[in-house]
Structure 1
């Protein structure tokens, strides 16, 4: 009787090896679910970023429709000639001339919008027949809504040598017609600012033709144009 009871107890009690292997499938099941969990997290993050991008786009569209932004005006208002000098360069071969000048450029910025504009740094290049002579820099600034602001820069050219063909034209124009034709070109970038939010950049290209009088040391002609509005 006792031996029979002990045999039944051994059959009813699982061995340690049986217990270990019976839990093994549960372990592999947990490991196999990890990739699915990672994929689910990635999908959630993708949906979250997509929702944020759509929300940002919606805010921008609402601002654009509410503000109705207009193109700002950035015009060369005045050119003050401080010095214009033309001197021969006998050491050059072939012979040429060197041009020196100093001009103060006064620009007028007009903001017709209901909100302020944030201008970045603007650079303007003075050229003679496509040859860069000097560059002026206007620091960035903030312009309130419905306002007019004057900004200026000084361009200094120190004895820039010109080749023979350009030099002869410059000497002829200066001596016979008392004129030096120059081109002022540059790009002006601005952003609409609402509270602390800046819109995408708006760029206006400035292209001005100016004529200086070496004898009178003054400006005799100015005509400016704008190449257009670029986003």
Structure 2
């Protein structure tokens, strides 16, 4: 007699699959490939970012940008008038008199750009002060300055009858009438940005602090000393 092999379990069960023969869900491979694509994109963007940063650093090191120079070149006195005015007090005294100041001065600034790239200046505001009291404000509109150039911009500050009281008024009247010397202070911040290959760098702020002396009799400037970012210029 020829021996036959025993029938398999699948044959006995009518060819049904064994309950323990599971297959992986078809969407698991899709998740793995999606994660792989995300990792590749992240690495690609990181590499591009590093390349851009390195290129910017190379350009900055090659150009070696310098801080912009913004200086008060001259001050022209168009008008300066000081009038004593009594303050409303029940019993007038010599110290109860104030003064009204009317002033018009033209300030000429010089912007120097020694860089190989252009500089974009924002709108700048300058304040004229007497003994810490603001008298008036002038505005210089924003402008663009090409590389290796010098540009002059100007603004006019008009003070229309600003009242000073008691001690400050007495000092101002004495300075104007007896000493012929009125000392003022010009303060302002200049915002500038360097433009490289169409890109604008973060803003750099330049502080201008000038002490000026005006002669009321001559209607002229007699002294000027400016500070540029804390350095004397």
- TM (norm. structure 2) is 0.78
SS of match in other structure, 1:145: coil
Instruction: Give the aligned partner of residue 59 of structure 1.
Output: 55
CA RMSD, aligned part only? 3.1
Name whichever structure is richer in helix by fraction. Answer: 1
Is the contact made by 1:204 and 1:228 (CA closer than 8 Å) also made in structure 2?
no
State the distance in 2 between where 1:92 and 1:37 align.
83
Is 1:76 the counterpart of 2:72 in the alignment?
yes
Aligned length: 214
2:133, 2:184 → 1: CA distance?
Answer: 10
**Residue 107 of structure 2 corresponds to residue 111 of structure 1:** no
The answer for the alignment partner of 1:26 in structure 2 is 25
Q: 1:37 to 1:123 in 2, by over 3 A?
A: same
- The answer to whether the Cα contact below 8 Å between 1:100 and 1:158 also exists between their aligned partners in 2 is yes
Q: CA deviation at 1:79?
A: 0.6
Contact preservation (8 Å) 1:121, 1:139? yes
Q: How does 1:143-162 map to 2 (within 5 A)?
A: 143-162=145-164
Gaps of 5+ in 1: 1-8
Report the secondary structure of 1:12's partner residue: coil
Query: 2:7: which partner in 1?
Result: none
Shift of 1:172: 0.7
| Distance change in 2, residues 1:48/1:71 (3 Å) | same
Instruction: Tell me, in whole angstroms, the C-alpha distance in 1 between the residues paired with 2:104 and 2:68.
Output: 28
TM-score using structure 1 length: 0.78
Could you say if the C-alpha distance between residues 53 and 95 of structure 1 is closer, same or farther in structure 2, counting changes exceeding 3 Å?
A: farther
- Find 1:87's aligned residue among 83, 90, 104: 83
Distance of 1:199 and 1:116 partners within structure 2? 11
Which residue of structure 1 lines up, in the alignment, with residue 93 of structure 2? none
Distance 1:45 1:139, change over 3 A: farther
Q: Secondary structure at the match of 2:229?
A: strand
Task: Name the structure 1 match of 2:207.
Answer: 205
Query: In 2, Cα distance between the equivalents of 1:36 and 1:162?
Result: 78
CA distance in structure 1 between the partners assigned to 2:206 and 2:142 by the alignment: 15
